[in-house]
Structure 1
């Protein structure tokens, strides 16, 4: 059984069974009831930090005390000399902050494709790896801002393009969830070969799914951050491909997704579509080690991936925190600072 943490006053907090959440909904959207919360890693409970009026009818005897937990810091005390192994340093960039430098690095994945990324080098032993979302790149606003914030905290960061995206080699694919998780594994293995410890992996949107899939398969990263990931991978498919998309793709072998002006944005093959539809996040999340700390951050006004999907992750991942940012959209356009603050707190 899981519980919701309710702030009763300044000195006490209590837990409410998740079984009661459905009775709170009364057909309304969940985000109208829950403002800003996270999960206790040891119990998968919601920590709600704002007042919720609709809970006033519940009796105190339904509530239980909750304990606080501590999260381990990323180790930033050690300084190392980077030695390039199994990859190529392309160019150095001027320092963005005192004691840091940026370097473009190429890493080959298991298919021989070159993955291009940018290392924000602070000299820390630990490194955080950032993963972009669907039809995006390492240069997305959210990924760049997070990298800069972590760099300022003295934590080395690597942001890269998955195969078929940005500067990396390969062809763009609609699905590729598990193949991108394998791309991430190639990156982590590269840094492991350079005596670096990947203390956290973070993914935005589709990248959120990728880091969770990675954690379910490889079990070698202690902190995983899912930002706006999709729990139901079939969600959003009809909106992009139109009604009857399964029949169309079986008849023609592909569907071209076009812009409003008729320009072909990308092609969805039957294979890539089925890869997406057959990616089961529920089953994958059940395979994540209980010692792996997972944070899900989601915007209450996300119109691309509904906030209810974030709640589903909270139900199945054993060691999980959940934080909903009130008013934030899928890209956290007006909430970058709040997103950064939440991520830094989790990693530090």
Structure 2
């Protein structure tokens, strides 16, 4: 199926202009989805691009987002946090609803998946949510910065290196990670859940997926991503994930009448 890929801009949660890319079939999409990338990743990371474009060839429109301060979005990473990322996703759903059709699915990779879970609990339009190698709680990300929380408590901000890139993190970022009670959120998602996780993920242990799955209410499904790495770097793996999402999601969404 032929697809269209277009760059989109819309206001984000902190008032900055967010950049996104909408991949969709030339003909009317069956439904729309919003995609949240991994921590500090952008909409153009290969796994996001591959999953989104493959879903478009299967008739699904996918809006993949650069969170505030990342990629082509305005603002600074230092002023953003998990809560603002959640609101950025909700802003993306609002854009699609205003200009195309209300999205019915959220898809998130790593911390982006956790973000999607919280955003889904706040959006009545979302009927299905998918996590890919996602932590069960936002505060999981703090484990990657041992000792940083203490430094932030007396300095207020600190510079960190993530995947070879420099970022400034402020105290409010760590404080906000503690503010979301997934024990309360997961049982009340209000949407079908698909948990996808690799048992060989060395960044986010598969026990996180087990917790998400066991805590959430039905309908829910859990599929092991056998032999995949955390970032899903192999093309064939990303295509497989996209096909899983399409087949699973068909049961829970309403085909667009547009």
Counterpart position of 1:326: 226
Aligned length: 245
Counterpart position of 1:241: 145
Using the TM superposition, give the Cα deviation of residue 317 of structure 1 relative to its aligned residue in structure 2, in angstroms. 0.8
The answer on whether the counterparts of 1:257 and 1:265 sit within 8 Å (CA) in structure 2 is yes
Structure 1 residue corresponding to 2:99, chosen from 194, 203, 208? 194
1:246-285 to structure 2, matched below 5 A, reads 246-258=149-161, 265-285=166-186
Using the TM superposition, give the Cα deviation of residue 125 of structure 1 relative to its aligned residue in structure 2, in angstroms. 5.5
Provide the rounded CA distance (Å) in 1 between the counterparts of 2:24 and 2:176: 35
Structure 1 residue 124 and structure 2 residue 29: aligned?
Answer: yes
Counterpart position of 1:169: 74
Query: Which of structures 1 and 2 has the bigger CA Rg?
Result: 1
The answer on whether the counterparts of 1:138 and 1:160 sit within 8 Å (CA) in structure 2 is yes
Using the TM superposition, give the Cα deviation of residue 173 of structure 1 relative to its aligned residue in structure 2, in angstroms. 4.0
The answer on whether the counterparts of 1:107 and 1:190 sit within 8 Å (CA) in structure 2 is yes
CA 1:130–1:246: 2 relative to 1, 3 Å: closer
> Greater helix share, 1 or 2?
2
Which 5+ residue runs of structure 1 have no aligned equivalent? 1-96
Aligned partner of residue 322 in structure 1, secondary structure: strand
Using the TM superposition, give the Cα deviation of residue 197 of structure 1 relative to its aligned residue in structure 2, in angstroms. 3.0
Aligned partner of residue 23 in structure 2, secondary structure: strand
Q: TM-score, normalised by structure 2?
A: 0.87
The answer on whether the counterparts of 1:301 and 1:327 sit within 8 Å (CA) in structure 2 is yes
The answer on whether the counterparts of 2:105 and 2:129 sit within 8 Å (CA) in structure 1 is yes
Aligned partner of residue 53 in structure 2, secondary structure: helix
Aligned partner of residue 234 in structure 1, secondary structure: helix
Counterpart position of 2:206: 307
Displacement over 6 Å in runs of 4+ = none
Structure 1 residue 340 and structure 2 residue 215: aligned?
Answer: no
Q: TM-score, normalised by structure 1?
A: 0.65
CA 1:258–1:130: 2 relative to 1, 3 Å: closer
CA 1:110–1:154: 2 relative to 1, 3 Å: same
Using the TM superposition, give the Cα deviation of residue 164 of structure 1 relative to its aligned residue in structure 2, in angstroms. 1.0
Structure 1 residue 112 and structure 2 residue 15: aligned?
Answer: yes
The answer on whether the counterparts of 1:202 and 1:226 sit within 8 Å (CA) in structure 2 is yes
The answer on whether the counterparts of 2:82 and 2:138 sit within 8 Å (CA) in structure 1 is no
Using the TM superposition, give the Cα deviation of residue 264 of structure 1 relative to its aligned residue in structure 2, in angstroms. 6.9
With 308-317 and 186-195 compared, the bigger mean Cα shift is at: 186-195
Which 5+ residue runs of structure 2 have no aligned equivalent? 251-258
